[in-house]
Amino acid sequence: MLIRYWMSTPVVTVEKKESMQQAATLMKENRIRLLPVVDKGRLCGIISDRDLKRASASDATSLDVHELLYLISKIKIADIMTRNVITVHRDWTVEEAADLLLSRKISGAPVVDDDGQLCGVITQTDLFKATLYITGLKKQGFHLAFVLEDTPGSIMDIVNVIREFGGRMASILSTYERAPAGYRNVYLRFYGMSRDRIDEMLSILKAKAKLRYMVDHRENRRTLFDTH
C-alpha cells in the first residue's frame, strides 16, 4: 500500500518568518504535532510540538506568564526549526515509511513528489490506520495464528476449511521469522461465520497445522493453544 493513499492532506504549513506563537496556534487548531516549514512555497524545514516545548523551556525558567507570551511571539520559526528534513516519496510503501520513522526515531515526515514538491505528511497515526485496514481488525471477526509447513498450497488448504464453514477472509499474513526450519508462521483474520461452529472448525484445522492462538475480537475472547 502506497503512502499517497494514507498521507494526511491537504498539508498545513507555516512560513519560516512566522513566530513560534503562530506555529503553536496552527498545531492546536488543526490537532497536529508536525508542521512543515516553507519559504516561498518550498520546503525548508520542519517543526514539531517537541521543538516548541524545548524552545519554551530553554528560555522560560525565570519568566512570568506575560513575559513568556511576549517571548514566544518574538521567537521566529526559522530559529528553532529542523533544517535537515527527512522526507518520504509518495510512492513509498507504508512499510518503508514505518521503517524510516522507526530507524530515525521520528513521529512523522513530509511527503514529496518526483519534483520534490510537498504533497502531504505521513505520521505514526496514519501508519496505525493503514495497519488496521491491512489486517482487517475493524471487521471484528477472528484472528487465528498457527505454524504451517512451508509447502505449496498449504495456506490455501487452511483457507478453504475456513471458507467451508462460512468464513470470509479479511487478511492473510505470513513470515519465516521465529518459525522452525521448513515452516512459517501464518496469521489469518476472517469474519462472517457462526460462532457455534468455531470448535468444529478448529478440530479440523488442528490436524493440518499447529495452532498458536485465536482471538475473537467481537467477544474479546482469547484462546491459547501454544504458550511457547
Q: What is the pLDDT of residues 4-38, one digit of tens each?
A: 999 999 999 999 999 888 898 999 999 999 999 99
Domains 3-132 and 136-224 share a fold: no
Report DSSP state, residue 10. S
Question: Pairing mode, if any, of strands 210-216 and 142-149?
Answer: antiparallel
Instruction: List the beta strands (DSSP E) in the chain.
Output: 14-15, 34-39, 42-48, 88-89, 108-112, 118-123, 142-149, 168-175, 183-191, 210-216, 221-224
* pLDDT score at 228: 62
Report, as an integer, the average pLDDT of 125-153. 93
pLDDT band for position 226 (50/70/90)?
A: confident
Q: What are the residues whose beta carbons fall under 8 Å from the beta carbon of 152, sequence distance 6 or more? A: none
For 3-132, give the CATH class. Answer: alpha beta
CA distance 65 to 48: 22
**Edge-to-edge strand ranges of the sheet holding 142-149:** 168-175, 183-191, 142-149, 210-216, 221-224
Closest listed residue to residue 113, CA positions, set 88, 94, 86:
88
pLDDT band for position 182 (50/70/90)?
A: very high
Fold of 136-224: Alpha-Beta Plaits (3.30.70)
CA distance 215 to 228: 17
Task: Say whether pLDDT at 65 is over 70.
Answer: no
User: Omega into 110 within 30° of 0, i.e. cis?
Assistant: no
User: Residue ranges of the domains in the chain?
Assistant: 3-132, 136-224
Report DSSP state, residue 24. H
* pLDDT score at 170: 95
CA distance 33 to 170: 32
Q: Report pTM.
A: 0.80
